[in-house]
């Protein structure tokens, strides 16, 4: 994964330049783009951090970009910079899935606070996604029988019932159960249940 | 027997005469050569509040305000002497005074009559109070309309401002945002000692440039928001254009740019606010030079004038690559700009100035190279 970076998209060079310096002053990496298209062309799924977007830009505007990002499954949190007092645009931005918005001109402290929150949010989300991915990979190592047994455990079936329904010996059921727990790295039945439920509901993107 | 007969006839004539006077809608006053009132009809009684009986034999000046009354005898005397009519047979608007002392405007026409050994004057008076009030009301209404028009024109400009308000906020917020970010960064970098003097100086320059940019936006607005009515006078377009050269002389010499003129002689005059039209032309010329500078293409701008049907045409053409067709239709919309540092208000302000002159500003593609803007102004009516 790359260094968490604030991707600043604003058509005005002075804004990009000044924000880059501000971010540098607090040790946050940043990268500027003069338009949304430029960002989309350069974008790599590995990129971590957040997007700081001017809502009104020529060509592809901020809101359109947000929709485009949603379509492409880009999960970087987006903070919109909106014109001061333009509530409708801010509402629109939030509706389009923005994490936050700031009205220009903003206080630098305020901007940094929100950006740091966005970066932390992204880091958490990435962590969660990573965990889910790990879990999914572990679940995929289960054999069909082991998966069957694991699902029946989630459903609350006893070994005895499973043995009867699957036409297996209770001993064999216990063996599948032990293997499944081992493969999933579940230390208890409760944990196994939670894992199976987790893997059934991928993190929202 | 003849005598009583005459007396009867005479009384009958007299009665008929009186009835005639009293039937008149207008006030009628008969005076003798000395200005003493002989007859005062019903209408006059109603108008002045005096009865005939009260006034008979009194000087007619009793019906006038003091300042005129004092002169009246001398007017009569002068007329008797010179026979030079100032009012007799002419009529004029004068001021009358009622019994209660109130004054009112009236139209007075005076005729002289001679009958047997009698001479005198007949004055017919018509109350003008209502007409004057009406005239004053009309004048007040006209003033109100004028004021309304002025404020409409103002609110028209305010409307234009309103439409652009969100864009303007953006234009001012951009430099302010940059300034705040630069300043915040410097503070933090200074605190951690992570900034060199040279870098700091560089950032301060940028802050100043952004502050100037915000100031320019405000200056641009001030022109628009000014309530002052544009002063439109007959102007000679060629003279305006020549003044541009003088106004830009310094810039031209400093930059090495060239301004070329192709002016048609004997142009008809236009009604225009010279300063505003010059602002439009200066803006177009500067735009041209800036565009050429940015695109590193061309170094001269040509201003040409020509008469068209009912219009005077002023064209500003640069020697650069011209405006991309895709961008042309949005040229005059606020906040459209191809310039790195422009605010994109210039051409939309220019267009509103042109429209305020019943003129039009447009981009012209006549097949010749270079970007060409054309300002058309209607010829002044005589």
Spatial strand order of the sheet with A29-33 comes to A29-33, A5-9, A49-54, A78-83, A100-104
For position B203, what pLDDT does the model report? 93
For position B153, what pLDDT does the model report? 57
Contacts of B182 in chain A (CB under 8 A): 18, 21-22
Contacts of B194 in chain A (CB under 8 A): 25
The ipTM estimated for the assembled molecules is 0.73
The upper half-sphere exposure of residue B282, i.e. CA atoms within 13 Å in the direction of its Cβ, equals 16
Given A17, A26, A84, which is nearest B173 (Cβ)?
A: A84
Q: Is residue B226 a contact partner of residue B161, using CB atoms and an 8 Å limit?
A: no
Average pLDDT over all residues of chain A: 87
Residues 6+ apart with CB under 8 A from A65: A9, A36, A39, A40, A53
For position B4, what pLDDT does the model report? 55
Determine the distance in angstroms separating the CA of A107 from the nearest CA of chain B, rounded to an integer: 7
- Write down the pTM of the prediction: 0.47
The encoded tokens of residue B182 equal 């630069």
Closest C-alpha to B31, from B92, B65, B103, B79 = B79
Q: Is residue A75 a contact partner of residue A125, using CB atoms and an 8 Å limit?
A: yes
Question: Is B307 in a helix, a strand, or coil?
Answer: strand
Identify the residue whose tokens are 């000395």: B34
Q: Is residue B380 a contact partner of residue B371, using CB atoms and an 8 Å limit?
A: no
For position B343, what pLDDT does the model report? 44
Contacts of B176 in chain A (CB under 8 A): 104-105
By percentage, how much of chain B surpasses pLDDT 70? 83
For position A117, what pLDDT does the model report? 94
Closest C-alpha to A136, from A195, A176, A73, A190 = A195
Question: Is B108 in a helix, a strand, or coil?
Answer: strand
The upper half-sphere exposure of residue B101, i.e. CA atoms within 13 Å in the direction of its Cβ, equals 0
Least CA distance to B190: which residue of chain A? A25
Residues 6+ apart with CB under 8 A from A48: A1, A2, A3, A4, A5, A76, A122, A123, A126
What region does A11 belong to: left with phi over 0, alpha with psi -120 to 50, or beta?
Answer: alpha
Q: CB-based burial of residue A115 (10 Å sphere; 0-12 exposed, 13-18 middle, 19+ buried)?
A: buried
pLDDT < 70: residue spans in chain B: 1-7, 89, 146, 148-168, 170, 220-231, 250-251, 254, 329-330, 333-346, 382
> Is A125 near chain B, with CB under 8 Å?
no
Check CB contact under 8 Å for B185 and A14: no
Identify the residue whose tokens are 């064209």: B315
For position B316, what pLDDT does the model report? 92
For position B340, what pLDDT does the model report? 46
What b/e readout covers A46-71, taking b as 16+ CB neighbours within 10 angstroms? Answer: ebbbbbbbbbbbeebbbbebbeebee
Helix or strand (DSSP H, E) at B177: helix B129-191
Most B CBs within 10 Å: which of A16, A18, A108, as the mutation test of the B interface?
Answer: A18
**pLDDT per residue as tens digits for the range A107-154:** 889 999 999 999 999 999 889 888 888 988 999 999 999 999 999 998
Q: Are strands A49-54 and A29-33 parallel, antiparallel or unpaired?
A: unpaired
**How far is B357 from B237, CA to CA, in rounded Å?**
13
**How far is A4 from B308, CA to CA, in rounded Å?**
64
Closest C-alpha to A60, from A88, A33, A37, A32 = A37
* Partner A, chain B 191-210, Cβ-Cβ below 8 Å: 192, 194, 203, 206, 209-210
**pLDDT per residue as tens digits for the range A58-116:** 555 667 777 788 788 888 999 988 766 667 777 777 777 788 888 888 888 999 999 99
For position A52, what pLDDT does the model report? 93
* Partner B, chain A 59-98, Cβ-Cβ below 8 Å: 81, 83-86
Is the model more confident about A89 or about A167? A167
For position B2, what pLDDT does the model report? 45
Check CB contact under 8 Å for B178 and A17: yes
């Amino acid at each position: 994964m790359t260094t968490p970076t604030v991707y600043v998209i604003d058509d005005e060079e002075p804004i990009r330049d000044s924000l880059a310096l501000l971010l540098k002053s607090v040790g946050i990496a940043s990268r500027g783009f003069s338009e949304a298209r430029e960002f989309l062309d350069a974008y790599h799924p590995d990129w971590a951090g957040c997007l700081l977007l001017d809502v009104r830009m020529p060509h592809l505007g901020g809101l359109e970009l947000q929709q485009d990002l949603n379509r492409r499954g880009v999960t970087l949190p987006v903070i919109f910079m909106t014109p001061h007092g333009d509530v409708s645009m801010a509402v629109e931005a939030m509706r389009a899935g923005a994490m936050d918005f700031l009205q220009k001109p903003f206080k630098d402290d305020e901007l940094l606070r929100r950006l740091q929150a966005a970066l932390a949010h992204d880091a958490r989300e990435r962590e969660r996604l990573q965990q889910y991915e790990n879990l999914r990979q572990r679940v995929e190592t289960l054999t069909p029988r082991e998966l069957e047994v694991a699902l029946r455990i989630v459903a609350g079936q006893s070994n005895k019932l499973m043995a009867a329904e699957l036409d297996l010996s209770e001993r064999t059921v216990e063996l599948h159960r032990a293997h499944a727990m081992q493969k999933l790295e579940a230390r208890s039945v409760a944990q196994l249940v939670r894992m199976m439920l987790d893997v059934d509901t991928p993190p929202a993107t | 027997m003849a005598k009583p007969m005459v007396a009867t006839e005479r009384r009958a004539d007299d009665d008929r005469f009186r009835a005639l006077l009293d039937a008149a809608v207008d006030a009628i006053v008969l005076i003798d050569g000395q200005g003493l009132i002989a007859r005062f009809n019903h209408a006059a009684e109603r108008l002045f509040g005096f009865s005939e009986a009260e006034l008979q034999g009194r000087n007619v000046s009793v019906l006038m305000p003091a300042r005129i009354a004092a002169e009246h005898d001398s007017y009569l005397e002068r007329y008797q002497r010179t026979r030079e009519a100032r009012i007799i047979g002419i009529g004029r608007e004068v001021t009358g005074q009622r019994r209660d002392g109130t004054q009112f405007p009236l139209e007075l026409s005076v005729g002289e009559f001679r009958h047997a050994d009698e001479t005198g004057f007949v004055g017919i008076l018509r109350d003008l109070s209502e007409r004057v009030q009406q005239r004053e009301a009309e004048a007040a209404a006209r003033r109100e309309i004028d004021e309304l028009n002025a404020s409409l024109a103002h609110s028209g400009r305010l409307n234009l401002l309103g439409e652009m308000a969100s864009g303007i906020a953006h234009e001012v917020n951009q430099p302010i945002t940059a300034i705040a970010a630069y300043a915040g960064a410097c503070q933090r970098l200074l605190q951690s000692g992570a900034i060199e003097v040279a870098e700091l100086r560089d950032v301060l320059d940028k802050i100043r440039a952004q502050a100037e940019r915000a100031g320019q936006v405000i200056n641009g607005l001030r022109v628009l928001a000014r309530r002052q009515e544009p002063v439109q006078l007959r102007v000679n377009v060629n003279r305006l254009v020549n003044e541009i050269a003088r106004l830009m002389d310094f810039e031209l010499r400093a930059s090495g740019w060239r301004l070329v003129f192709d002016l048609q002689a004997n142009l008809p005059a236009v009604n225009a606010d010279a300063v505003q039209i010059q602002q439009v032309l200066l803006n177009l010329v500067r735009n041209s030079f800036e565009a050429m500078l940015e695109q590193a293409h061309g170094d001269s701008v040509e201003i040409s004038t020509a008469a068209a049907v009912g219009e005077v045409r002023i064209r500003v053409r640069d020697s650069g690559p011209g405006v991309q067709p895709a961008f042309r239709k949005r040229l005059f919309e606020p906040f459209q700009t191809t310039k790195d540092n422009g605010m994109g208000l210039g051409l939309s302000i220019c267009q509103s100035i042109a429209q305020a002159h019943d003129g039009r500003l447009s981009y012209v593609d006549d097949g010749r190279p270079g970007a060409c803007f054309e300002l058309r102004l209607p010829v002044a009516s005589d």
